[in-house]
Amino acid sequence: MNSNRLIFLDTETTGLSADNGDRILEIGCVELLNRKLTGNNLHFYINPERESHEDALKIHGISNEFLQDKPKFAQLTNEIVSYLSGAEIFIHNAPFDISFLDKEFSLCGLQPFASFVASVTDTQTMAKQLFPGKRNSLDALCDRYGVDNSNRKLHGALLDAELLADVYICMTRGQDALLMDVALSKEERINTNKSDFSVIKLPTILANDQEIMEHNLVLEQIDKASSGKTVWNNLDSHPV
């Protein structure tokens, strides 16, 4: 398994409940290798063999007519499994998508989704740990991290997977820099952070006559405002 191969996955469905017969009508996946987008994406529109609920249609906007000539999930399983096999999967609100994927795989006589992949991470759970008590929808995270989601007028599986990959990179930015090289000894790590400041000579820049005059003027104004109670007037002006 390639542990550096991360796949960001999203689905669109005919409704909210796989157990009640709702189906996947779109799947989108984006691949990340070594924190870089590879362009090796996977995207299918799928004939769900049933119509979308009205509320779901308002979310994804994919009409029943558009999906009629698209392949059924069973026709795509080999390609989907081959693409996802052994990868680390990241999904926003993973239990929802996994319930639908498990149902589709079950209808095809296959093992559950998790059996084909290295791991599944719910990025919504990650976000809740980073921002407890705040909104952690994909749109909210895009706004928080400055990820451009202006094209997200409707939900789309591939677009949402791409946005999720961008959000994940922002969420984990700097993480690698915090990792210490365990191969170095303690003494080597300490020496690596040492700096020799003895070789640095800082220049001495003296105030000119104009700057001294302006400084003294400010001191006089402060002394006047405090009715002569400024501390420096009570100090010995001669060196000890």
Query: How would you class 149 by CB atoms within 10 Å of its CB: exposed for 0-12, middle for 13-18, buried for 19 or more?
Result: middle
Q: Can 155 be counted among the known catalytic residues?
A: yes
In the chain, the amino acid numbered 210 is Q
φ and ψ at 28, to 5 degrees? -135, 135
Residue 218 CA to residue 9 CA, distance in Å, equals 65
Residue 9 CA to residue 65 CA, distance in Å, equals 25
Residue 167 CA to residue 231 CA, distance in Å, equals 56
11 to 8, 89, 104, 144: CA distances (angstroms): 11, 13, 12, 23
The residue annotated as part of the active site, out of 60, 155, 215, 238, is: 155
Distance of CA 60 to the CA centre of its chain: 23
Q: Count other C-beta atoms under 10 Å from residue 182's C-beta.
A: 7
153 to 59, 60, 71, 94, 122: CA distances (angstroms): 9, 9, 25, 22, 24
Residue 192 tokens read as: 């690596």
Helices and strands, counts by H and E, the chain: 9, 6
Catalytically annotated residues: 155
